[in-house]
Amino acid sequence: MVWREERTAGDIAASFAMTRPSVSQHLAVLLESDLVTVRRADTRRFYRANRQAVERLRGELATLWDNGLDELKAQAEASERKKRGR
């Protein structure tokens, strides 16, 4: 929801079966992780995705996923070779 435009926690909560405080807790984690940014205007806080940080995370997860699949394949092949050797 915050990828294309800024949203307040209240705006986000209105779209889900969650309370505003629950959404605020999730946003705090994303903010601490640098995956969203916040802009204050008077008493309101507007959240927006930090696109560069999200793209970096996507790249890291893709690498992790690819490496994990390679390791899983290697273990499956080793297990199969072991079974054949018995």
CATH value at residue 27: 1.10.10.10
Q: Is the pLDDT of residue 39 over 70?
A: yes
Q: What pLDDT shows up at residue 86?
A: 63
Q: Are residues 40 and 66 in the same domain?
A: no
Domain count, the chain: 2
Q: Are residues 58 and 41 in the same domain?
A: no
Closest CA to 70 of 78, 60, 58: 78
Q: Which residues pair with 7 in a beta bridge?
A: 47
pTM of the full structure: 0.71
State mean pLDDT over 19-23. Answer: 92
Beta strands in 14-85 (DSSP E): 36-41, 44-49
Q: Are residues 40 and 64 in the same domain?
A: no
Q: Are residues 24 and 62 in the same domain?
A: no
Q: Are residues 2 and 42 in the same domain?
A: yes
Domain of residue 12, residue span: 1-49
Q: Are residues 20 and 44 in the same domain?
A: yes
